[in-house]
Chain A
Amino acid sequence: MSQSAVNKDDSGKESQASDISEAIIRIAGNSQDGIQSIGGFLARLAGRSEQEVMTMMTIPSTISGGPSIFQVRLGTGDVLSPGDDADVLLAFYQHSYEGHVSNLREGGLIVYDSDHVEPNEEWLKKYRHIGIAISSLTVEAIGGTTRDKGKNIYALGLIGRMFNLDLEKLERLINERFAAKGENVVKPAMDAFQAGYRYHSDDITNLFNFKNGTVDRSNQVVMSGNEALAYGLIAAGVRFGAAYPITPWSDIMELLRRELPKYGGSFIQCEDEIASVSMAIGASYGGRVGVTGSSGPGISLKTEAIGWAVMAEIPLVIVDIQRGGPSTGMPTNVEQSDLNIACFGGHGDSPRVVLAAADVEDCFYTAIEAVNIARNFSVPVFLLSDQAIATRIEAFNEPDLKKLCQDLAPDLTPVQSHKPYDLETETGASHHRVPGTRIEDGRYPVVTGLEHDEWGHPSGSPETHKAMTQKRRNKLKALAKTLPIPEVYGPESGEVLVVGWGSTTGPLYEAVEKSADNGSAISALKLRHINPLPEGLEDIFSNFKRIYVVEMNDGGVYGYGQLASILRARFVDARIQGINKTDALRWKVWEIIDRVNERLSPDPALAND
């Protein structure tokens, strides 16, 4: 909401309505207040209108009570990141008011529930305050004693009024949302919404007005990163998975458990992480790509089995929704500290593929890509997402499902003979004949974690181990040749290239936009394929004087984050430096710009992290 213009209407009287192209609204309350459903409505509204949307949601580990927030960034242009500081804070309680005021930009607007919040004298001078008795007005609107219920919908009405949002569409969304629960739920919801929307005060009506967007967004879908990832797996043809619940991975397994039966598939909740990965590998062996997933600690537990899948050359997709670590760490915070375990976790030389999704839409497509790579190269594929992408909601162009959906039914056509670990295949990858396949010469394969010869027989031969180790590694080299070279965001050459992966990418791209506006252009590079890396990166790097790898993980003993270390090892390029942080919060755009500027500063004191 950068341009806060004061408009004059025909009578010459000042009206407060500012034309805006985007707004960041933070809503803070308790878990049971249904804060997230407000965000859900706004997100869905945005998906159906000219506004693109990105939201950020935190869910406390507690089941009920405790603080809950939802931040939504609505914009009529491209929304690249969740945004930095909020323009508007809607606070339901004293603790939500006090706890989130620091996330409001200077001069921002606070709308608070005057039934619960006592404004602070000092903050009254710094921020604009509007107190509305949300709790009692909701009770008044709904009637009866449904205290504390419906406040979220009332607040949604208020927001609708403040931002001149599409009334008709919002009403339709509320109807759709509650229709299944019956009229005795729809009616109070609608009453609460309309009471909020019709709340009349000069303070609040016509505060802001969204400018019309330029892009046609009529054909968009709105969902969270975890939803996009799960539906991507379904589109890819995955029909079996197994996992153990852990935050923030659990939504994916809940969704797949619910959805897969419609497609004749199953998702199994297991007794532990090791059983989960083993069951998924068992299903892969059975002929379809099996999927497992987890977060932090659960991934550690799966590593032995993943090593088996590398050795036996069985396709597998492992989803890792990263959170703060190590150990139990920070289950509801974001971090990018699992790249090393994804690339290298496990004993022995165990080459596997690592892909990183950068945003919600990317989760959908990367899931399909992960499944196809696993199949084509008979290899475990890590699909990295993180807590920030997992829980936020974005609108994106509806995928062409008819074209994208795949059928991966196993092929049981009899074969004359089958050499399970043939050293002469085109890519080096084995393509197993699945159980149930008749092999005419009567020699049936055993897939195994022991080092083996081409027929799958255990082998202790030094030559065999050498050849098979090469085979397992060379198929990744073959894969690398097929990967697209990533495109530079911003100028193709210049002083500074910032390199990122995962949810860091959005803020990096926005930093590129902001720095261009300020005349000190930087460029950004997003890496989606991390192991193996695509070819041609050195040509991109050669166009820049400095390369900063921006990550949410520790710079470690030697000062380079996890991706930075991989790139340094790969390119032996001293220009590759790390910009890291470990506050378990997502990157803000200004943080990136400040940290880059510090590095560029001639003052050596500033250049140190």
Chain B
Amino acid sequence: MSENATLESLTQDTEEREPLTKKQIAADTPTWCPGCGDFSVLSIYYKLIQKRKIYHEKVTTVAGIGCSSRFPYFVQAHGVHYIHGRALSFATGVSLSRPDLHVFAFGGDGDAFSIGGNHFMHTARKNVKMTYVVMDNFVYGLTKKQTSPTSPIGFKSKTDNWGAFDRPINPMKLAISAGATFVARSSHTNPKHLLEMMDVAMDHDGFGFIECLSECTEFYKGAFDPTNPRKGGVFDLVPEDHDVTDEAAAYELASEDFPGKFGIFYKAQIPTKNALETGLQDTAKAKFEGKEDWEILQSTFNRMK
């Protein structure tokens, strides 16, 4: 297997290459509705790739199913449009077997917290190295306005005509309690902040999770106006004195009522699944130094004679 990816190896190359232009990164024209929050997230992803001078082949973009999960088609990079809810499991397979790549996963709230809820918890607790951005719009958009796991109580959808009454999932609390090692919150209405979050998340050695509020103008218009100063709301940053390594403080921050705070809630440095698995391999391989694979297998077969 290849050497572990460092951020340097993502940008360095044996030959000098010009950094990519936005035109080179952009692929298919997005199919989202006009005004969709996902446009901002996409353009910030382009900006991140440009800013970090990453080449096409060094990143892999994985998504599940949903409006936001169309993401990979719009990026000129190796990409995967997988099945509903399982993007993180797929991305784990790539991350663990290809340490030379940086894996980005994108998805929506249904993908992440409903059908994929189990995988969200386990990918977080295993601390698999990747960056996961959930574009949370509080509604099922692709299937045209059903209740989502993050729809607030009282939200009127086609499956809750009278207003939703199941309590929504709080993605930040879920991420912290599941053991995610980088937990941040941002909004499409503040692209500069989102870029900052993605930039830091990418440097995080572990599972980096960002909940990015991303408005569905078609089925939940105005949902995030309270976070948007231009619409009379407040974009309230995480207080400067917040200790990002304090899990309880992070949980308290996450418990605030909507619209809540934005920024890094929690950050911990623990070994990644990738590093632990590699460690296991290094120990196991050490006993067979200089041996070809067939010779290792032969030594096992010799004991079965």
Let me know if A231 and B297 touch, CB within 8 A.
yes
**In the complex, A122 has a CB within 8 A of chain B:** no
Let me know if B93 and A278 touch, CB within 8 A.
yes
Let me know if A288 and B97 touch, CB within 8 A.
yes
Let me know if A274 and B76 touch, CB within 8 A.
no
Let me know if A444 and B76 touch, CB within 8 A.
yes
Chain B binder among A92-100, A350-358, A434-442, A598-606? A434-442
* A308 touching B82 in the complex, CB below 8 Å, given contacts A223-B304, A283-B93, A444-B27: yes
Give A444 to B60 CA distance when docked, in angstroms: 10
Give A399 to B297 CA distance when docked, in angstroms: 11
Q: Mark B21-37, 1 if CB is under 8 A from A, else 0.
A: 00010011000000000
Q: For A239, what are the chain B residues with a Cβ–Cβ distance below 8 Å?
A: 1, 97
Give A270 to B280 CA distance when docked, in angstroms: 17
Q: Which of B60, B73, B80, B95 contacts A457 (CB 8 A)?
A: B73
Give A259 to B280 CA distance when docked, in angstroms: 11
* A448 touching B93 in the complex, CB below 8 Å, given contacts A47-B305, A262-B287, A407-B293: no
Give A265 to B73 CA distance when docked, in angstroms: 31
Q: For B86, what are the chain A residues with a Cβ–Cβ distance below 8 Å?
A: 274-275, 278, 305
* A261 touching B285 in the complex, CB below 8 Å, given contacts A286-B97, A287-B98, A444-B77: yes
Q: How far is the CB of B304 from chain A (nearest CB, A)?
A: 5
Residue ID in chain A nearest B299 by CB atoms? A262
**In the complex, A462 has a CB within 8 A of chain B:** no
Let me know if A282 and B305 touch, CB within 8 A.
no
Let me know if A266 and B56 touch, CB within 8 A.
no
**In the complex, B92 has a CB within 8 A of chain A:** yes
**In the complex, B143 has a CB within 8 A of chain A:** no
Let me know if B93 and A436 touch, CB within 8 A.
no
**In the complex, B53 has a CB within 8 A of chain A:** no
**In the complex, A567 has a CB within 8 A of chain B:** no
Q: For A407, what are the chain B residues with a Cβ–Cβ distance below 8 Å?
A: 293
Residue ID in chain B nearest A458 by CB atoms? B73
**In the complex, A59 has a CB within 8 A of chain B:** no
**In the complex, B44 has a CB within 8 A of chain A:** no
**In the complex, B165 has a CB within 8 A of chain A:** no
Let me know if B92 and A282 touch, CB within 8 A.
yes
Q: How far is the CB of A226 from chain B (nearest CB, A)?
A: 13
Q: Mark B269-305, 1 if CB is under 8 A from A, else 0.
A: 0000000010011011101100011101110110111
Q: Which of B28, B80, B93 contacts A279 (CB 8 A)?
A: B93
Give A457 to B76 CA distance when docked, in angstroms: 12
Residue ID in chain B nearest A407 by CB atoms? B293
Q: For A265, what are the chain B residues with a Cβ–Cβ distance below 8 Å?
A: 281
Let me know if B82 and A278 touch, CB within 8 A.
yes
Let me know if B296 and A263 touch, CB within 8 A.
yes
Q: Which of A444, A448, A449 contacts B78 (CB 8 A)?
A: A444
Let me know if B56 and A274 touch, CB within 8 A.
no
Let me know if A268 and B96 touch, CB within 8 A.
yes
Give A263 to B300 CA distance when docked, in angstroms: 12
Let me know if A443 and B76 touch, CB within 8 A.
yes
Residue ID in chain A nearest B77 by CB atoms? A444
Give A47 to B296 CA distance when docked, in angstroms: 21
Give A442 to B26 CA distance when docked, in angstroms: 10
Q: Mark A241-275, 1 if CB is under 8 A from B, else 0.
A: 01000000000000000010111111010111011
Give A282 to B300 CA distance when docked, in angstroms: 29
Q: For A47, what are the chain B residues with a Cβ–Cβ distance below 8 Å?
A: 304-305
Give A436 to B60 CA distance when docked, in angstroms: 8
Q: For B96, what are the chain A residues with a Cβ–Cβ distance below 8 Å?
A: 240, 266, 268, 279, 283
Let me know if B293 and A285 touch, CB within 8 A.
no
Let me know if B56 and A438 touch, CB within 8 A.
yes
Let me know if A457 and B28 touch, CB within 8 A.
yes
> Which of A231, A266, A404 is most buried by chain B, counting CB atoms within 10 A of its CB?
A266
Q: For A280, what are the chain B residues with a Cβ–Cβ distance below 8 Å?
A: 93
Let me know if A285 and B297 touch, CB within 8 A.
no
Let me know if B94 and A435 touch, CB within 8 A.
yes
**In the complex, A221 has a CB within 8 A of chain B:** yes
Let me know if B94 and A285 touch, CB within 8 A.
yes
**In the complex, B89 has a CB within 8 A of chain A:** yes
> Which of A274, A304, A439 is most buried by chain B, counting CB atoms within 10 A of its CB?
A274
Q: Which of A222, A287, A442, A449 contacts B56 (CB 8 A)?
A: A442
Let me know if B60 and A259 touch, CB within 8 A.
no
Q: How far is the CB of B65 from chain A (nearest CB, A)?
A: 8
Q: Mark B71-102, 1 if CB is under 8 A from A, else 0.
A: 01101111111110010011111111110110
* A285 touching B294 in the complex, CB below 8 Å, given contacts A231-B300, A271-B122, A436-B98: no
Give A265 to B293 CA distance when docked, in angstroms: 11
**In the complex, B218 has a CB within 8 A of chain A:** no
**In the complex, A290 has a CB within 8 A of chain B:** yes
Q: Which of A282, A399, A437 contacts B89 (CB 8 A)?
A: A282
Residue ID in chain B nearest A265 by CB atoms? B281
Let me know if B93 and A266 touch, CB within 8 A.
no
Give A283 to B294 CA distance when docked, in angstroms: 22
8 Å CB interface, A85-140 against B = none
Q: For B292, what are the chain A residues with a Cβ–Cβ distance below 8 Å?
A: 405
**In the complex, B118 has a CB within 8 A of chain A:** yes
8 Å CB interface, B56-71 against A = 56-58, 60, 62
**In the complex, A220 has a CB within 8 A of chain B:** yes
Give A282 to B89 CA distance when docked, in angstroms: 8
Let me know if A450 and B78 touch, CB within 8 A.
no
> Which of A239, A285, A439, A458 is most buried by chain B, counting CB atoms within 10 A of its CB?
A285
Q: For A235, what are the chain B residues with a Cβ–Cβ distance below 8 Å?
A: 294, 297
Let me know if A234 and B297 touch, CB within 8 A.
yes
Residue ID in chain A nearest B13 by CB atoms? A438
Q: Which of A234, A259, A279, A438 contacts B92 (CB 8 A)?
A: A279
Let me know if B97 and A446 touch, CB within 8 A.
no
* A259 touching B305 in the complex, CB below 8 Å, given contacts A435-B57, A436-B57: no
Give A55 to B187 CA distance when docked, in angstroms: 64
Q: For A444, what are the chain B residues with a Cβ–Cβ distance below 8 Å?
A: 27, 56-57, 75-79
Q: List 11 A-B contacts (CB under 8 A).
A: A242-B93, A264-B285, A279-B93, A281-B90, A283-B96, A286-B94, A401-B297, A436-B2, A442-B76, A449-B81, A458-B73
**What is A's interface to B at a CB cutoff of 8 Å?**
44, 47-48, 176, 220-223, 227, 231, 234-235, 239-240, 242, 259, 261-266, 268, 270-272, 274-276, 278-288, 290, 304-305, 308, 312, 398-399, 401-402, 404-405, 407, 410, 434-439, 442-450, 457-458
Query: Which 7 pairs between the two chains have the least Cβ-Cβ distance?
Result: A282-B93, A278-B89, A435-B78, A261-B284, A405-B294, A279-B93, A282-B90
Q: A305-B83, A305-B86, A436-B58 are in contact. List 14 more A-B contacts (CB 8 A).
A: A235-B297, A240-B97, A261-B281, A262-B284, A262-B285, A266-B97, A282-B80, A285-B80, A290-B97, A405-B297, A435-B94, A442-B24, A446-B73, A448-B80
**What is B's interface to A at a CB cutoff of 8 Å?**
1-2, 24, 27-28, 55-58, 60, 62, 72-73, 75-83, 86, 89-98, 100-101, 118-119, 121-122, 277, 280-281, 283-285, 287-288, 292-294, 296-298, 300-301, 303-305
